[in-house]
Chains A and B, each alone.
Chain A
Amino acid sequence: MSGETPPREPVERVIELRLPSKLGYERVAMDTASSLARRMGFQPDRVESLKTAVSEAVTNAIEHGNEHDAAMKVVVLLTARADELIVDVSDQGRKPFDQSRAIRRPIIEEVLEQDDKGGWGIWLIRELMDEVEFSTALSGGNQIRMVIHLEQ
């Protein structure tokens, strides 16, 4: 390993999915992540948390980032490390991610009064995953990186 560049992940530990931007395909990512996490030894409740987080991140990319254009891809990278699973979800960024949504915690008493009852996805991801990071790719796409630690 050189000190200049970060070490690359061994290729056999990275799974890449390229999903059409059509609702329903988030399940493919969810099932793949679930299958991998179980094999890595994650407890069932952690696998469930991961499934919800992956589903919400991919749904967000389909609906907002790529605005349901099925020809645009959502790329999901699953990187299995000895002590954690990293999930990167990126879209092609038709619509930039609203950063204010990343920090807002919806309050049910307020939501009940609003016409729009949604907005729980990002908050759930933050609550359920150990690390969450939002960024913008050079190409303009939105990226979210989620990390879940394997507790021994």
Chain B
Amino acid sequence: MMLEDELTVSTRERDGVAIIDLSGDVTTFAEEKINNAYREVTSKGARNVLLNFRQNDYINSAGIAILIGIVTEVTRNDQKLAVSGLSQHFQKIFRMVGLAQYAEIYQDEQEALAAFKARS
């Protein structure tokens, strides 16, 4: 029974932004994949990082802890972080937790890329 490890993480670059696509559930099983993807784009010199989620996926408190870990690294490495593709519910959760103070929330990839462009 597939009850774990249901996350696909991939990276790509667009308009000077390193995009980490997250497709699936962000839980404790996601830690290595997300951290590896982040290290990969950082080692390539990414200044702008976008975590691009897929609507309706499941993020739990362990997943939130992983994302807070990314925020710590982003601050340390002086990068800019944004998130896109979150459902209304998880946008709310990100605001409640305080993650929104460290990562701008955009509806979709296009909106996030336009915002990065305007800021640069």
B27 within 8 A of A: yes
Residue in B69, B89, B96 whose CB lies within 8 Å of A127? B96
Q: Identify which of residues 59-73 in chain A touch chain B, using a CB-to-CB cut-off of 8 Å.
A: 59
CB pair A117–B60 under 8 Å, yes or no, is no
Residue in B28, B87, B93 whose CB lies within 8 Å of A23? B28
Residue in A22, A106, A109, A118 whose CB lies within 8 Å of B62? A118
What per-residue 1/0 map shows which CB atoms of A75-113 lie under 8 Å from chain B? Answer: 000000000000000000000000000000011110110
Complex: how many Å from CA A82 to CA B79? 51
Q: Identify which of residues 52-102 in chain B touch chain A, using a CB-to-CB cut-off of 8 Å.
A: 58, 60-62, 64-66, 68-69, 71-72, 75, 87-89, 93, 96-99, 101-102
Please tell me the number of chain A residues within 8 Å of chain B, measured between CB atoms. 29
Residue in A27, A55, A59, A124 whose CB lies within 8 Å of B3? A27
Please tell me the number of chain B residues within 8 Å of chain A, measured between CB atoms. 28
Residue among B58, B60, B61, B88 with most chain A CB within 10 A: B61
CB distance from A82 to the nearest CB of B (A): 26
What per-residue 1/0 map shows which CB atoms of B1-12 lie under 8 Å from chain A? Answer: 101100000000
Complex: how many Å from CA A111 to CA B64? 11
CB pair A49–B89 under 8 Å, yes or no, is yes
Residue in B4, B66, B93 whose CB lies within 8 Å of A52? B93
Residue in A26, A30, A124 whose CB lies within 8 Å of B96? A124
Question: Which residues of B does A touch, CB under 8 Å?
Answer: 1, 3-4, 27-29, 58, 60-62, 64-66, 68-69, 71-72, 75, 87-89, 93, 96-99, 101-102
Question: Which residues of A does B touch, CB under 8 Å?
Answer: 22-27, 30, 45, 48-49, 51-52, 55-56, 59, 106-109, 111-112, 116-121, 124, 127
